[in-house]
Structures are given as structure tokens and as C-alpha cells.
Amino acid sequence: MDLKGSSKLYYQIKIANQVMVSRFEKKVGFSLTRYELMVFLKESGKCSQKKIQSELCIDSAAVTRHLKILEEKGYVIRERNKDNNREVFVEVTEKAKEELMNCEKQFDASQSALCHSLTPEEEEQLATLLQKIIKQEEG
């Protein structure tokens, strides 16, 4: 594929991302990043802000901004490590766990953001292709 073709493909991916993220956020009521952050904390338990940054591939300033908003809304608790004041531990609150559970209950798989245009098999193929691209960039 030449540069023009590659550019067109990347631009289509960018637009598709904007559309899908917007649909997700309207349906769930949280930004995609904040939702993923809370799910990660719910599954992993209390952990360092640095681990969140590493696991979700988000820069430190962005993690801090998202956590500040989530903390103000009562979804996470942040506390400094008593032994190392530079380290911050984060955990999800019961309020957040309830909200996540409500999101899951209200979310009908047949109404997913992608299903209107992709079959479940196509969604799986897309996920596989995206993982392949991500791994290639990491390696």
C-alpha cells in the first residue's frame, strides 16, 4: 500500500475510533478511559498509580487527571504510601463498584456499539487484528 492508501486507512481508523468511543460513552455514562480505569481497579484491587499507568498505557499526567475527576465524584480513593511519599495507591470505592454493576446490567450485548455494523465474528477478527498491530508496535 502506498502512502496515500496508508494515510486513508489510518484516517478511517481514526474516524471509526471517534464514532465508537462516542457511542460507548453515551451508552455507559463514563469516558472510555475512566471506565477501563475503574474496571482495572475493580479487578486488580488496590494498586499504585504507576501500575495503572503501565497496564493501561496512559501517561502519568493523564492518569492523574482521570483519577482526580474520579476521586471528586467518589469513585476512587487515592492515598500516599506512608513509606514512600512519592508513591500513590488507588482503589475503587463501593460506589464505583455499584455503578459498574449497573452499567453491566443495563448494557445489552445486542446493543453494543459495534454490533450494528459488525457480526460477532467480525468483532472478534477486528480485536485480533488490533492486537496484532499493537504487539508489532511494542516489539
Structure confidence by residue, pLDDT tens digits, 24-61: 888 888 999 999 999 999 999 999 999 999 999 999 99
Q: What is the total count of domains within the chain?
A: 2
Could you tell me the strand order of the sheet in which 88-92 lies? 47-48, 88-92, 76-80
pLDDT attached to residue 122? 87
Residue 38 placed within a domain = yes
Helical residues (DSSP H) of 1-139, grouped into ranges: 3-28, 32-44, 49-56, 60-72, 94-106, 120-138
pLDDT attached to residue 112? 55
pLDDT, averaged in runs of 10, over the chain (139 residues): 89 90 87 96 95 94 96 96 90 96 74 64 88 76
Boundaries of domain holding 64: 31-93
| pTM of the model as a whole | 0.82
Residue 9 placed within a domain = yes
| Domain at 75, CATH number | 1.10.10.10
Residue 126 placed within a domain = no
